Amino acid sequence: MQKKLSGTVIKTQSQAIASGFPSVGKLKAAHGDTVVKALLVDMLADFIEFINVGKTFSGVQIAQTVAMIQQYFPHFNLGDLKLFFERMKLGHYGSFYDRMDGQIVLSKMEQYNQDRMNEYQLLNDGAHNNIRREEKLNSALHPSVIEAMKKAVGEKKVVSNDPPKRQPNDADLFYQRCIRQFDNLYRKFGVSRSGLRTLDIGGRFLMIDDFIERKVQNAIK
């Protein structure tokens, strides 16, 4: 997995999201805690060696940082982690001068997470916009063209003044179920963080896109 990851070019968060690499949570479920910890330690150690600052991690701090990454960012996939640490090396999140510790890494990871959520929403909006454009294109067809298409597929003529309604597909129904489940859980476990709705599940805060991604990952296991 590490060899395949190192040979993959990921330059944007949209590429990371669509990379197909498993998330931290899914890796832990499939291969156990030890494998995930070893992978995260390798990534963190590689980053620490690269920046070469004076005040840096102890072994205990590395272990604590890895544990907190597992706890608070289980939805990050390996593509996200690769992109995040590469951005850290390039100074994307600022200079570190002569100090580097777990608090800095986790705070920058949260900044990456906020950007990731925005990108995830844009991707979802883009998918919905594509559906709307298709619907508008279909509705803009001349009636004679629509009639010819109906005859070609052997559809009987139905006299109606109502515009055709798009039937939801499996993806639409799955998304709607996730939204309803999130809303129901929010009434019981909901908290607001920075103006965003989140679920507090055992001290782990999940926003709507994190919740949906977990549902997707569970569905494809």
In terms of Cβ atoms closer than 10 Å to its own Cβ (0-12, 13-18, 19+), residue 184 is: exposed
Task: Classify strands 204-207 and 196-201 as parallel, antiparallel or unpaired.
Answer: antiparallel
Closest CA to 120 of 85, 81, 76: 76
- Read off the pTM: 0.57
Q: Give 77 or 183, the one with higher predicted confidence.
A: 77
pLDDT tens-digit series, residues 75-114? 999 999 999 999 999 999 888 778 889 999 999 999 999 9
Q: Give 191 or 114, the one with higher predicted confidence.
A: 114
Q: What is the mean pLDDT of residues 180-190?
A: 81
pLDDT at 140 over 70: no
Find how far residue 172's CA is from the centre of its chain.
18
**% residues pLDDT > 70 (the chain):** 73
What is the crossing angle of helices 208-220 and 170-189, to 10°? 130
pLDDT confidence bin for 219, thresholds 50/70/90: low
pLDDT at 160 over 60: no
Average pLDDT of the chain, as a whole number:
80
pLDDT at 129 over 70: no
